[in-house]
Amino acid sequence: MKKLWEEITVGNMKLPHRLAMAPMTRSRALADGTPLDLSPEYYGQRASLGLLISEGT
């Protein structure tokens, strides 16, 4: 469990730990998968985690 909180380099990004957040906005998207206007706010609220993996449409 100790390694979870160690720094890691992924490509050219140095991350403070090994946690990453997967895309979750699809549950808050339109029926065709288009993100709502709230997506930037959603990711902004979680930005302090470290690595956020967003989705493309």
8 inside domain: no
Residue 43: give the domain boundaries: 21-57
| pLDDT given for residue 25 in this prediction | 66
Domain contains 14? no
Q: Considering the domain boundaries, does residue 54 fall inside one?
A: yes
What pTM value is reported for the model? Answer: 0.59
- For the chain, how many structural domains are there in total? 1
Residue with the bigger pLDDT between 22 and 57: it is: 22
pLDDT score, position 6? 93
CB contact at 8 A, 19 and 8: no
Q: What is the mean pLDDT of residues 7-19?
A: 92
Task: Give the pLDDT score at 11.
Answer: 93
Q: Read off the pLDDT of each residue in 35-45 and give the average, rounded to a whole number.
A: 84
| 44 in a structural domain | yes
The verdict on residue 49 lying in a domain is yes
Is residue 57 situated within a structural domain?
A: yes
38: in domain: yes
Q: Is residue 16 part of a domain?
A: no
